[in-house]
A and B are shown apart, each in its own frame.
Chain A
Amino acid sequence: MGGVLSLGGPKCRTSEYNEMLNNGSCKRQKTSSFSYDEESSRLIPFLPDELSIQILARLPRFCYFNLRSVSQKWKATFESAELFKVRKELGSTEEWLYVLIKDEADELSWHALDPLSKHWQRLPPMPNVVCADESKRGFPGLWLRNVVGSGIKIAEVIRSWLGQKDTLDQMPFGGCSNGAVDGCLYVLGGFSRATTMRSVWRFDPISNKWSKMNSMSTGRAYCKTSILNNKLYVVGGVNQGRGGLTSLQSAEVFDPCTGTWSDVPSMPFSKAQLVPTAYLSDLLKPIATGMTSYMGRLFVPQSLYSWPFIVDVGGEIYDPETNSWAEMPTGMGEGWPARQAGTKLSVVVDGELYALDPSASSNSGKIKVYDQKEDTWKVAIGKVPVADFTESESPYLLTGFHGKIHVLTKDANHNIAVMQADVRDNLGSPLSSTSVYAKSLHEHSDSSETVFWKVIDSKNLGSAELVNCQVLDV
């Protein structure tokens, strides 16, 4: 009995490097007896690629961009889906925060924060082009460089809505919406050359490149986005038509697996039907002021607006199971905090729906949580240390990151600060030097809970304004 161990079978992924081991060489230097081509085409000369990938998948993602320069094969691997599949299997994916800012020159740019290494990566600029078929039909395939817009009246409308002052119509991608689905970042619509774009751009962190996706059926600026069942939903926004700017009630959904858009029933906006006179209903435009994916449905708070007034009228809920809209519970709709802000202020963390409520009177704000049983919004965090709620156009963003509430704001030194809310009891860890102490005003608890705001990182991006933020786990 006995004999040589069988080398066959699926267990032995080894045959290709048996030879190498028989040469007794795990050493760095090349072995002359080994096929040079085979070795040199590998990631690591003395290991089969499937083992090397196991090593590379365990590296922090922040190293990838630098280590592309090791060799052609390394570069190709860091830009391959295969490596990122292994990261998923190993559970070594990392959540990064992608922040969209607007600089002094009104240019939009994305910056990614790796919270582990505290490094910020600048993303390649969004392609500053406009597809010809959107602005000028008859020149298919022609890409026009986006120049300063023609100054069509883009409306007091949006300006008043979002407090934007000027240059909206000149800024490429101004009023674009964003989403993160299936490991990629999306930029949807917005203005360009005073038209509303249908275009959709996707940033893939693996290739570190932007690519154009199938366009939406309608040009939209300031539409609301949310992710449900790994699909990207857009609703509402405004469209620049021949008759000027109109607000949209339509909705559509993008499936990243097929790359296609499908229609979703329009928001019925039933409250708008209740406006007493035809004159008023003509004047008051229904707008979706937000959208959050919560308990398997999409929650859209709504307002009626007529410059310069805005009236909150509750909201509606889209259920993908029935493919239909229903009225939002009264307490939820009426109490929805800060719905007009136009920035990302509602978030679901750990199954709970939170919204940031900036109080205009003081340099502070509250984070409220929706209580489904009682249909009310309750204060979850009584104090949010935000330097100034009034001065800047969008001085704060709310997001769920690493399973915790995070607020992005500009601190007293005009740095962009990313703050994490850490809820602990009083016996918890001591204050660190970077923590801002804030006592929670839990109305429904014994107020023994304390919230620590921990600045996880801050970055000086000049006088840039915060526009949006998204989280990708790659």
Chain B
Amino acid sequence: MSSSAENPTLTTEITKPSTEIATETAQSAKKINLKTSDDQIFEVEESVAMEFATVKSFFEDAPSSTDTVPLPNVPAKPFSQVIEFCKEQIKFKANPDETEKKKSNSEFVKEKTNEDLVEMIPVANYLEIKDLLDVLNQAVADRIQNRSVEYVRSFFGIDNDFTSEEEALLREEHAWAFEDVDED
């Protein structure tokens, strides 16, 4: 998997006309500069940037814009991973193969830490990348399913706001209802 976009670079304007937008080999395609909340600039192929509905509508409103697009809600670290995902995704646009796409998606999330996944969720939501958001939500759900209450609390950093009596009662109810289930 290419990671060229992971190194933010300050670039000069690229003015070559883009004839092919959504091909994976479009080396000469138009690039778009996106600036993250921590002031890093990503040079992203237009075809990838158009995967971000938020950015796309920005260019629809201002078609001739050549400026750097600021993304004030997007930190660099999750953004680089989001770009990685979208680069893979556009390959399947030209050549739809659901099985391969699923495989690619599951490989993508497999390599990510819990923190990577949850950091990407608000970014994917802000940039309106529905496919990625679905993949991330499912991946997080998969990681907490069948886990203990304590595990889930520490996964998300949730404070226990039950009294010990309330909690004991809930656990008692659970043990009664699912008498043969063990926690992890």
Contacts and interface: CB of A to CB of B under 8 A. Distances in A.
Do A and B truly interact? yes
Interface in B111-154: 115, 118-119, 121-123, 125-126, 128, 133, 137-138, 140-141, 144-146, 148-149, 152-154
B183 interface: yes
Interface in B38-93: 38, 53-55, 57-58, 62, 64-75, 78
Contact of A70 (B68, B70, B119, B149): B149
B181 interface: yes
Interface stretch (B9-17, B102-110, B166-174): B166-174
Contacts of A120: 178, 180
Contact of B162 (A24, A72, A119): A72
The 5 closest A-B pairs by CB, nearest first: A2-B67, A28-B157, A58-B141, A26-B119, A44-B156
B138 A58 contact: yes
Given A2-B65, A2-B67, A51-B125, A65 B174 contact: yes
Interface in A48-104: 48, 51, 54-56, 58-60, 63, 65-75
A242 interface: no
B165 interface: no
B37 interface: yes
Given A27-B115, A47-B122, A67 B152 contact: yes
Interface of A: 1-7, 11-14, 17-18, 20-22, 24, 26-30, 40, 44-48, 51, 54-56, 58-60, 63, 65-75, 117, 119-123, 208
Nearest to B120: A26
B69 A5 contact: yes
B29 to A, nearest CB: 20
B161 interface: yes
Contacts of A20: 122
A71 B162 CA distance: 6
Contacts of A122: 176-179
21 contacts: A1-B67, A2-B66, A4-B72, A5-B55, A5-B71, A6-B58, A18-B126, A21-B122, A26-B78, A28-B115, A46-B122, A54-B133, A59-B145, A65-B173, A65-B178, A68-B174, A69-B171, A70-B160, A75-B170, A119-B178, A120-B178
Contacts of B38: 24
Contacts of B69: 2, 5
Contacts of B179: 122
Nearest to B133: A54
Contacts of A68: 170, 174
Nearest to B123: A21
Nearest to B152: A70
A48 B137 CA distance: 13
- With most chain A CB atoms within 10 A of its CB, the pick from B118, B148, B156, B174 is B156
Given A21-B37, A59-B145, A121-B177, A30 B160 contact: no
B141 A59 contact: yes
Nearest to A50: B125
Given A28-B115, A65-B177, A67-B152, 9 more contacts: A3-B67, A21-B75, A26-B78, A27-B157, A47-B121, A60-B146, A75-B170, A119-B181, A122-B176
B149 A55 contact: no
B157 A30 contact: yes
Contacts of A28: 115, 154, 156-157
Contacts of B64: 1
Contacts of B148: 66
A66 B179 CA distance: 12
B73 A22 contact: yes
B98 interface: no
- With most chain A CB atoms within 10 A of its CB, the pick from B53, B55, B174 is B174
